[in-house]
Each structure stands twice: as C-alpha cells, then as structure tokens.
A and B are shown apart, each in its own frame.
Chain A
Amino acid sequence: MIEIGRVCLKIAGRDGGKKAVVVDILDNNYVVIAGETRKRKCNVNHLEFLNKTVKIKKGASDAELEKALKSEGIILRKTKPKKAGPRPLRQHKARPMVKPETVARKKKTKEAKPETGPETIAKPETKTEPGADTKTLNQKEKAKTSKPAAKAAKKAVNS
C-alpha cells in the first residue's frame, strides 16, 4: 500500500484534510509527502492512503510533481527557497501612544491647581457683607485656603 506515488490524505495536524503524494519512503514509520500540504516528513499513522496512484520517480522535481498531480486535481504547494546569509534582526513594534498620554494628563492637573486657587480666595471677599466683623472674615479666608487651617478655625469657633 505504501509506495512512491501513492495518493494519501493527511488526517492529523494543521495540514489535516489535505491531499498529498508519497515522494520518498524513509523507513517503516516515516515517509516524505508533497502536494497540498507542505513538503515534509510524515508519520504513516497520520496518513490515510487512498486507492489512487500517480506516476512519479523518487526525487522528482517540483515541475514533474505539478504535472503528475494535476490529473488528481491536487495543486502543489510551493515553498519559497530559503534566503542565504544571516537572518534580519527583529524590529520591535513602537509604542507611541502610551507615554505622551500620561505626560499630558499630568500637565493638565498641574495647570488646573493654580487656576482654581486664586478664584476661591477671591470669591468670599466679594460675597461677605460689609457689616461682618474683621475677625470672622480672617477666619473664613483661612478656612478656604488650606484644610488644616480650616480645622483650626472650626475649633476656635466651637470653643
């Protein structure tokens, strides 16, 4: 059953369901196949041998294989020849958006603080009635400028 030129179906792995032809027999368990799959060594247990054969010789070239496989309706998958020389270094993907965003947010908060500061201090001065005591005015101003000062002012009022 296993011979050079036997059409087979690959049942296992990512090439599962693809048809191929036995090109070479390595030993009892392994054969070399080519066809819709990649040209590769393959375990016999991962193949289903079909009732068809194709006339090819051992070590047939790609052109010969292509011709022979046409009769079975199998399109030969071609792999690019490997490039000679050293591999090109991997180029890491740039991450442009992460750092600028965080910087921008920080800047906004810094700008916001000084803007709000003078406004809050300025408002109570206009709202306060002219008849109010000078002592209470000072306490109010202190309360809005800083939190610890506000606590101290409250204590003073309670006592």
Chain B
Amino acid sequence: MVAPRFRSRTFRRIKVKTPGNRNTIHYRLRKPAKAQCGKCGRPLQGVARARPIQLRRFSRSQKRPERPFGGVLCSSCTRDELRARAK
C-alpha cells in the first residue's frame, strides 16, 4: 500500500524501471509554475523552472537572461521600458 501522503496528487508520479526489471512509481514534488512577464503576463523564456534547492546548483546566468530586467520582463516589454527610460 502506498504511504497516505502519496495518495493525493500533490506529488507528481514518475514511472521507473528498477534494476530488478520491475516497474514502480516514484513520487516527486511538482515543478513550480512558469515565470511570467511582470508587465504583460506572457510566460518568460530562459528562466529556470525548478525548486529552490535545485536552483541553488545553477549559476546566475543559467537562472535568468543576462540583460536588464532579465527574468522579470519579457524581451519586448524590456525594450519598451528601456526606450521610455531614455527619454
């Protein structure tokens, strides 16, 4: 019988083939939601989608785009913002 905490769908299920040639289900925590643009709400490209513990393994440039407002605004909104600030 599965442990009670694994009976809900809070955990995602992964089918794993064990070395003993048995198919089992492993339970992992779900990924967090995709990062979104703070202005228009579009999903952001190039932003790592992982738990904070896994994010700790990544370098800074692996976590978000290397540009002003990287990981906060989408590329088109960044352009608008930079144009507005220059004036």
Residues of A in contact with B (beta carbons under 8 Å apart)? 9, 11-14, 16-17, 19, 48, 50
Q: Which residues of B contact A (CB under 8 A)?
A: 66-68, 75, 78-79, 82-83, 85-86
Contacting residues, chain A, for B66 (C-beta < 8 A): 14
Contact A16 B67 (CB under 8 A): yes
Chain B positions within 8 Å of A13 at CB level: 67
Chain B minimum-CB-distance residue to A45: B79
Q: How far is the CB of A131 from chain B (nearest CB, A)?
A: 55
| A14 and B67 contact, CB distance less than 8 A | yes
Q: Is the beta-carbon distance between B79 and A12 smaller than 8 angstroms?
A: yes
| 8 CB-based A-B contacts, threshold 8 Å | A9-B82, A9-B83, A11-B79, A16-B79, A17-B82, A17-B85, A19-B86, A48-B86
Asked whether, in the complex, the Cβ of B86 is within 8 Å of the Cβ of A16, the reply is no
Question: Which residues of A have CB within 8 Å of B67?
Answer: 12-14, 16
- In the bound complex, CA of A95 to CA of B83 (Å): 47
- Separation of A9 and B83 alpha carbons in the complex (Å): 8
Pairs A-B, 5 closest by C-beta atoms: A11-B79, A17-B82, A16-B68, A16-B67, A9-B86
In chain A, what residue has the closest Cβ to B86? A9
| B79 contacts A17, C-beta separation under 8 Å | no
A17 to B79, CA, bound (A): 9
Measured CB to CB, the nearest residue on chain B to A48 is B83
Residues of the A chain whose Cβ atoms lie less than 8 Å from the Cβ of B83: 9, 11, 48
Docked pose: A11 CA to B87 CA in angstroms: 13
CA distance A13 to B86 in the complex (A): 16
Whether A17 contacts B75 in the complex (CB less than 8 A), given A9-B82, A11-B82, A48-B83, comes out as no
Bound-state Cα–Cα, A12 to B81, Å: 11
For residue B68, which residues in chain A have a CB less than 8 angstroms away from its CB?
A: 16-17
